[in-house]
Amino acid sequence: MSAISVGQAVVLGAVEGVTEFLPVSSTGHLKITEGLMGIPVDDNAVVGFSAVIQVGAIAAVLVYFFKDIVRIVSAWGRGLVNRDERHHHDYKFAWWVICATIPIVAVGLAAKPLIEGPLASLWVVAASLIVGSGVMWAADQMGRHKRGEDDTSFKDAMLVGSSQILALLFPGFSRSGATMSTALILDLDRVTATRLSFFLGIPALTGAGLYELKDALGAGVGVAPLAVGTAVSFVVAYASIAWLLKFVAKHSFDAFVIYRIVVGVLLFGLLGAGVLN
């Protein structure tokens, strides 16, 4: 019998799609939802399922930014065979994304027992939601929002990419929140920070999903729940991406900061009252 039913997969896929790219922590919301549905959040099958359905959200990024991705990959391919093409920003950017993914891959493999064990606690999620809110608010206030996408550098990509480790180790901190906050501290504008977060998430989340697929299936998650959860995640994430890019063009991150604090406090309350464990 599957560790997660098709009905539960629909709910979890929708939660993943809505929250993956919003700076509110998809992992945190998935664990909260799993806890409310009575699903053990630290079960290997459940951890694997959460990683696999992220692929649906990443597929939404690939479709939404298809023209940009084709342009960047094409520039990278031309640069590999033609030295004259290597001065283009897109060629450099492709290499930056590859290099910026290495730190999170290394930490993810080295710290896998911790990530799937003690750090999978809902107490960690609650604390990370609140602490991450403070970081995001400070970053939004500190940042001068004066640099655009063409102004990004290798240093920017490495710092933003490495910040994903915070979300990996502390579910609830939010991968999007960590990367966007770091980009804002580096004075990138909000739209550029958001787009950079999307592009850096493609290799990291795709790799995590493919890596966890065999473990999710082997630990007791059926093919049908995985397929349904991934499909729902794709549809909902596509709509979420479109909304977020429009939102950050005109608004600060204050609404996300307030929301995260409220959720974190409520989660502490539910844990303290014994409603969740």
pLDDT reported for residue 66: 95
Kindly report the number of other CB atoms within 10 A of residue 17's CB atom: 28
Cα–Cα distance measured from residue 215 to residue 145, given in angstroms and rounded to the nearest whole number? 42
Helix (H, G, I), strand (E, B) or coil at 271: helix
Phi, psi torsion values for 97, nearest 5 degrees: -65, -40
Cβ-contact 179, 120 below 8 angstroms: no
Handedness of CA 35, 40, 44, 45 (dihedral sign): negative
* Cα 12 off chain centre by: 15
List alpha helices for the chain, DSSP H.
6-19, 26-36, 44-64, 66-81, 89-110, 112-115, 122-142, 154-162, 164-169, 175-185, 190-218, 223-248, 254-273
pLDDT reported for residue 1: 45
For the chain, first and last CA: distance in Å?
Answer: 24
What is the chain's pLDDT, residue by residue, as a tens digit (277 residues)?
Answer: 467 889 999 999 999 999 989 999 888 898 889 888 888 777 777 877 888 888 899 899 999 999 999 999 999 999 999 999 999 999 999 999 999 999 999 998 899 888 878 888 889 999 999 999 999 999 999 998 899 988 999 999 999 999 999 999 998 899 999 999 999 999 999 999 999 999 998 888 888 777 777 666 666 678 898 899 999 999 999 999 999 999 999 999 999 999 999 999 999 998 999 887 7
Cβ-contact 130, 265 below 8 angstroms: yes
